[in-house]
Structure 1
Amino acid sequence: MKSHFAENKDVLNKIDSLKSILDGYRPFPDHVVKQLKDYYRIGMTYSSNAIEGNTLTESETKVIIEDEITIGGKSLREHYEAIGHAKAYDHIYSLLDKPISEEDVLFLHRLFFQQIDSENAGRYRQRNVIITGTDYLPPDYQKVPELMKNILRT
């Protein structure tokens, strides 16, 4: 039986191997880069929001983001989650060539939440939370600012 470390090393070696193959196709043509960005903009928005209980389908998410059309029977919050996530996703590309700061993280949070909870958008949470369906206990809200500072220093 392999140790956890050995299994992780095998996975990392496989990732490196696949990345080497992918690098052989670089640089990608501009139209391919745009297609990939658009594809992941919708897919990541849909998946991330679905995990949090948003009931929009992937197709509905695409219509809201790309066509700016509302979906009957869906809440405004669900629409705003899709729009906010897409805005944050778009902004991430402006951060690619520099270290990400705490201000950047909070700005991404603001982009996502500005239409959902403008009072708390761009701020660390002010209370403890639980995640339904898991045994994971998020850190105490009072520790989050320092934990974020530590993560961003690494």
Structure 2
Amino acid sequence: MGDMIKNYGFETPEYVSKEDFENFKMSYQVILERRYALKRFCRKGIPAQFRPHVWMTLSGAYKMMKDHPQVYETASTSQPPKKILTTIMADIPRTFPENAHFSQTQGKGDLLPVLQRILIAFAVTFPEIGYCQCWAMQPVHT
């Protein structure tokens, strides 16, 4: 196989010079190395202090917030159908009752309002889906 036939057996197009191809490979290698480093970092465990930022970055949430700044605020402060709101409000206190962040009886329950806003925002944004009881656990586990 010739010099310009690469990994997958395809010939490099004539309009791509060997120099252009080598330059591309060198610049892309930096991206790949960062990607592999990120994978290793994630697999070994992301330190707790970095998890929120890493999650928001990798999930695309920061980009969505930048591109659509008012969507979450509008959805999370909207009123869902009464049946859905009643279900969410009944579910939230039962979510992780042994966790101090979610228990008003055993702790401060400071994350209950956050979870409520997330679930309401989802139910309002996707009315055809609404709300399912097990979803109260998802934002915590992801």
TM-score normalised to structure 2 length: 0.29
Considering only CA atoms, is the larger Rg found in Structure 1 or Structure 2? Answer: 2
TM-score normalised to structure 1 length: 0.27
Larger RCO (CA within 8 A; separation ≥ 6): 2
